[in-house]
Amino acid sequence: MDIAVLGPVELRSGSGTAVPVAGARLRTLLVLLALDAGRAVSTGRLADGVWGDDQPAAAGNALQALISRLRRAAPGLAIAATPAGYRLDLDRDRVDAHRFARLVSEGRCDEALALWRGPTEFPDVARADAVRLDELRLAAWQDSAEARLRAGGGAELVAELEAVVAEHPLHEPLAGLLMRALVTAGHPGRALTVFERLRAGLADTLGADPSPELAALHVETLRGQQRRARGNLPAGVSSFVGREDDLRTVRKLIAEHRLVTLTGPGGSGKTRLSVEAGQSLTTVRPDGVWRVELAPVSDPAEVPQAILTALRLRSQIPMIRPGRSPLSESVDPLARLTEALAGKDLLLILDNCEHLIDAAATVADALLRAAPGLRLLATSREPLGIPGEQLWPVEPLALPPTETQAASFPAVRLLLDRAVAARPDFTLDARTTGPVVRICRALDGMPLAIELAAARLRTLPVEVLADRLADRFRLLTNGSRTALPRHQTLRAVVDWSWDLLDDNERALWRRFSIFHGGAEVTAVEQVCGADVDLLGALVDKSLLVLTGDRYRMLETIREYGRNRLAEAGETERMRLAHARYLLELATAAEPELRRSDQLTWLRRLGAEHDNLHAAVRAAIDAGDARTATALTARLGWYWWLRGHRAEGCALARDVLALTGETDPEDRALAYTYAAMNGLEGAAPIDEVVGWFGAAERQGAGPGAAHPVLRLLRPLSAIFQAGGQVREIELVEPLFDDPDPWLRAISKMLVAQLRLNFGQSPDLARAELREALDGFRATGERWGIGFSLSSLGDMAAARGDFEEAVGWQREAITLVREVGIREDLPQLEMKLAQQLWLAGHDTEARRMLEQARESAEDVGLSEVMASVEYGYATLAREEGALDEARRRMARAAELIDASSLAPQFRAMTHSGQALIEGAAGDLAAARDLHVSAVEIAADTRDSPVMAQTLVGVADYALRLGEPARAAMLLGAADAVRGSEDRSVLDTARIRTAARAALGDAGYAEAYRSGADVTLETALAATGL
């Protein structure tokens, strides 16, 4: 048998079956015997533990009777009588307390800590054992936390450490761990607060100072030596030479001004300086430093989306969720951006603004007004021209006045550094100094030109290079940014590089410029007609950079190539070749996105994302409806899976505006994917409905060849009048479709509709399991994850919380694999609630903290609102009403500012009402309940309406109307179609109402709500 005392006392047979141990005295007896398993425990110690000061007259006899009861309760437990007392004959390792101590001594702290299940039930006589085990547990936890921190953890440890430090406010090692975790998580300010709190506590309580080790950590934190950067700045691949003074000045300007713009001609080094400045500031910006590359953006309207993409804020919300409607309003990207950045403390680098100057200025002004904690660093050939802008001109690198001083001047240092990288044997000596100085002067100290020149030293003697530059750079002597357009500013340098190439190399250069996001070898071979040797030649000449398995071209070099492409009359031919290659790739990928190789193809399409979208844009600009439509038809599901829905919807809208012949199936798919990707808010619902109708007119429907087109009619019906039965009946024929993915998604869709309409949960569960089996058979992870999460919700509704936790964990793993970042906080919130319901309070709070971090990373208001809602709900359960009120108000504020998810607005208003009811303000509670029920009534969402009815039942109970409360519980279950044990308040209300009414009275009142429907629920509340 096994005995567990590290938490509520448990006794289990050899097969793992729980053996009931009823009564506090019997459990205390078992604890005392187990703590000394294999050793005799005196009669006096046992009696003191069981009865304390209130011992019976014949304590020995009473103890013997209690021992007999324990033997009867657990026949497999061997308890022997000894002259001094009693002995439990059991291997000590079968007692979790002894096993815990052994595992800790072996350094297996995580295994040891897993044995703890909650507070112990030790009697006062075993207080020494309790203290010993608690101290050992704290030491083990500290060792485990140290190991996790060393392994790269930090953010996920903060909440746990804060809780433990609160229990042990003067424990210096724990305070040190918390400080390190906070620094690792990007919160050095909070780490310093921890130190100050401890220092004050030690001084006030013990009259002592922090240990030297902790004081050293404090100093280290102040210096920022442990801080970890957050953001997307690229790692440097070469040294930063010659801009040290500029770097110090730019850092100072950013500290003093909210908008700093680096100005200067193309090639002056603005981008590199901005990145270096950002890298040096990552430790002082809690929310990181993020760079937005605007050079590839050609449409001013796409600037907000480019920033969203760089910040990794592309949105992704599942198609239909229990309790949520797919209906939404159009959301402007700039509005979403300002909403996401409000309250953030970060530095945003807007790089290469000059070709989008008006749009960049507008966006920058809006962001600065909406986000007080935001700092902007822009690079541009001209100022943005908005209030508060501080300019810093990025001048050419300083040139040496004489050859004897050459080595110390920035321009020469840069050339020498890059030349050595190109030719390791290159040195600055008496022979090379003169030519080097001439090169730097001829190039006017412009960093990009110097770097290109240095690259050529692989193939040209320095003297020849200096001679050839003499006539090429007369255009740069002016140095005027406004007088020389971008291509003219760098043209001398780039022309020189062009002149050094043979005809085949020039052809590859100009043809490669068609690629917006780099390319793999196969792509270059097929699109440009080049071979590997030719690619290698351009790599050697620094015109192409090989990163991993992809070749890329600097933007300035690519722009020059595009001009040469136009001069050669090849632009249209290369556009078609580029589109042809990408169309073949997308055609191969499209069906695989619904199969087991989904992840592989998602990665391939992700690598070509910029190329794919550029090809669509180029086709639109050329009026090539056939190509643009074909690409859209093959990218729609990729947009859905990877969170490019708003971007994809916008592209599809422009494609569908084209005239000209297209393949009917492609056009039907383009309409379908425009609608699907517009559901989240990228398009008004009327436009979405119109697209669904247009897709059907183009051939979408039961007889279509493509599975998504056969799904369209039931999807369209969801957003049109027709009733619940019609919507389900339209999907059910797809249960026998020949496509396995379509069979699975149709089962999943019908199950969700049944739940939303309050129909049979048993039937919905069976359909979800069939959907899950179907998705597993195809290997489609989005469907698997969505089905698993829904099954977890249903398991929780039945009260099987451990099963729900298992489903949810697997769903989260799959969502992470697919890369749907925006779904993670929602799923982690579900898991936290289900862990809480399962009794795993510590892990629930840890998961809630993880959800908060994920939501902060995503930055969307509706996602943050759901996390605040979760915190508020748990706080209310624990009676912390002030915290609950504050967090629920924040959730309501966040969701009310969003045009999405009316269901969630109903839930937050209901949550606020429950808090006010618990606080005794029934008038405020009533108003909030009315608002919640009215919003829920408009959503056609049965689970949400049911939840608001439970809230009103709480209100009725507090008014002293238990019969009305019971009726409303019955109404909630009727609207929902079943009981939901995951709704935290139901059991409490039911118990109180039953106590007031009696079993028969409660049952009668409960049954009186059975006829309430979604349509009559508002009236049934009586509010």
Answer yes or no: are the C-beta atoms of 290 and 310 closer than 8 Å: yes
Count of CB atoms within 10 A of residue 503's CB?
Answer: 7
Answer yes or no: are the C-beta atoms of 966 and 993 closer than 8 Å: yes
The CATH code of the domain that includes 382 is 3.40.50.300
Q: Do 369 and 411 belong together in one domain? A: no
Count of CB atoms within 10 A of residue 262's CB?
Answer: 24
Closest by CA to 751, choosing from 776, 783, 778, is 783
| Range with the largest mean pLDDT of 242-246, 612-616, 795-799, 821-825 | 612-616
Q: Do 701 and 664 belong together in one domain? A: yes
Answer yes or no: are the C-beta atoms of 73 and 20 closer than 8 Å: yes
The CATH code of the domain that includes 53 is 1.10.10.10
Range in 11-20, 365-374, 773-782, 927-936 with the lowest mean pLDDT: 11-20
Question: Is residue 309 in some structural domain?
Answer: yes
Q: Do 16 and 54 belong together in one domain? A: yes
Question: Could you read off the pLDDT of 942-961 as tens digits, one per residue?
Answer: 999 999 999 999 999 999 99
Structure confidence at residue 477 (pLDDT) = 32
- CB neighbour list of residue 496: distance below 8 Å, 6 or more residues apart: 452, 468, 469, 472, 473
Q: Do 378 and 255 belong together in one domain? A: yes
pLDDT at 50 > cutoff 50: yes
Question: Is residue 178 in some structural domain?
Answer: yes
Structure confidence at residue 91 (pLDDT) = 86
267 phi-psi bin (left φ>0, alpha ψ -120 to 50, beta other): left
Structure confidence at residue 215 (pLDDT) = 86
**Higher-pLDDT residue of 107, 987:** 987
Range in 35-44, 536-545, 803-812 with the lowest mean pLDDT: 536-545
Question: Could you read off the pLDDT of 742-778 as tens digits, one per residue?
Answer: 999 999 999 988 888 888 889 999 999 999 999 999 9
Provide, rounded to the nearest whole percent, the portion of the chain with pLDDT above 90.
42
The residue among 444, 472, 500 that closes a domain is 472
Mean pLDDT of the chain: 85
Q: Give the confidence band of 317 by pLDDT, cuts at 50, 70, 90.
A: very low
Question: Is residue 372 in some structural domain?
Answer: yes
Q: Do 661 and 740 belong together in one domain? A: no
The residue among 774, 793, 815 that closes a domain is 774
**Higher-pLDDT residue of 143, 748:** 748
| Range with the largest mean pLDDT of 47-51, 790-794, 861-865 | 790-794
Q: Do 186 and 273 belong together in one domain? A: no
100-139 core/surface letters (b: 16 or more CB in 10 A; e: else): bbebbeeeebeebbebbbeebbbbebbeebbeebeebbbe
pLDDT at 367 > cutoff 90: yes
Q: Give the confidence band of 325 by pLDDT, cuts at 50, 70, 90.
A: very low
Q: Do 705 and 735 belong together in one domain? A: no
pLDDT at 601 > cutoff 80: yes
Q: Give the confidence band of 359 by pLDDT, cuts at 50, 70, 90.
A: very high
Name the burial class of residue 803, with classes exposed (0-12), middle (13-18) and buried (19+) by CB atoms within 10 angstroms of its CB.
middle
Instruction: Specify the length of the chain in residues.
Output: 1023
Structure confidence at residue 769 (pLDDT) = 95
Question: Could you read off the pLDDT of 464-494 as tens digits, one per residue?
Answer: 878 876 544 333 233 323 223 343 334 655 7
The residue among 359, 393, 427 that closes a domain is 393
Q: Give the confidence band of 456 by pLDDT, cuts at 50, 70, 90.
A: confident
What is the DSSP secondary structure assignment for residue 849, as one 8-state letter? H
Answer yes or no: are the C-beta atoms of 169 and 196 closer than 8 Å: no
Pull the structure tokens for residue 132.
């010993």
Structure confidence at residue 320 (pLDDT) = 41
Structure confidence at residue 348 (pLDDT) = 96
pLDDT at 503 > cutoff 60: yes
What is the DSSP secondary structure assignment for residue 906, as one 8-state letter? H
Q: At what angle do helices 333-341 and 357-370 cross, to 10 degrees?
A: 40
Question: Could you read off the pLDDT of 984-1002 as tens digits, one per residue?
Answer: 899 999 999 999 999 999 9
Q: Do 296 and 366 belong together in one domain? A: yes
Structure confidence at residue 227 (pLDDT) = 44
Cα of 765 vs its chain's centroid, Å: 29
3-state secondary structure 636-699: HHHHHHHCCHHHHHHHHHHHHCCCCCCCHHHHHHHHHHHHHHHCCCCCCHHHHHHHHHHHHHCC
Question: Could you read off the pLDDT of 63-90 as tens digits, one per residue?
Answer: 888 888 888 777 778 888 887 788 988 8
Question: Is residue 349 in some structural domain?
Answer: yes
Q: Do 269 and 284 belong together in one domain? A: yes
Q: How far is CA 412 from CA 432, 470, 542, in A?
A: 11, 17, 19
Q: How many CA atoms lie within 13 Å of 878's alpha carbon, on the beta-carbon side?
A: 14
Question: Is residue 128 in some structural domain?
Answer: yes
Structure confidence at residue 587 (pLDDT) = 97
Question: Is residue 306 in some structural domain?
Answer: yes
Where in 442-589 does DSSP place strands (E)?
545-547, 550-552
**Higher-pLDDT residue of 618, 470:** 618
Question: Is residue 322 in some structural domain?
Answer: no
Structure confidence at residue 68 (pLDDT) = 82
Q: How far is CA 611 from CA 336, 515, 629, in A?
A: 25, 6, 16
Range in 239-253, 370-384, 687-701 with the lowest mean pLDDT: 239-253
**Higher-pLDDT residue of 268, 461:** 461
Range of the domain at 439: 396-472
SS3 545: strand
What is the number of structural domains in the chain? 6
Averaged pLDDT, 701-727 = 80
Answer yes or no: are the C-beta atoms of 743 and 594 closer than 8 Å: no
Q: Using CA atoms, how far apart are residues 609 and 632, in angstroms rounded to an integer?
A: 13
The identity of residue 581, as a single letter, is: Y
Count of CB atoms within 10 A of residue 974's CB?
Answer: 24
Q: Using CA atoms, how far apart are residues 778 and 597, in angstroms rounded to an integer?
A: 9
Q: Using CA atoms, how far apart are residues 915 and 262, in angstroms rounded to an integer?
A: 51
Range in 269-278, 317-326, 552-561, 593-602 with the lowest mean pLDDT: 317-326
Q: Do 308 and 427 belong together in one domain? A: no
Averaged pLDDT, 120-137 = 87
Answer yes or no: are the C-beta atoms of 551 and 518 closer than 8 Å: yes
Question: Is residue 353 in some structural domain?
Answer: yes
Question: Could you read off the pLDDT of 619-648 as tens digits, one per residue?
Answer: 999 999 999 999 999 999 999 888 788 889
Structure confidence at residue 321 (pLDDT) = 40
**Higher-pLDDT residue of 373, 60:** 373
Q: Using CA atoms, how far apart are residues 765 and 802, in angstroms rounded to an integer?
A: 17
pLDDT at 543 > cutoff 80: no
**Higher-pLDDT residue of 247, 157:** 247
Q: Do 364 and 409 belong together in one domain? A: no
Structure confidence at residue 152 (pLDDT) = 57
Range in 548-562, 665-679, 890-904 with the lowest mean pLDDT: 890-904
Averaged pLDDT, 263-276 = 82
Q: Do 598 and 667 belong together in one domain? A: yes
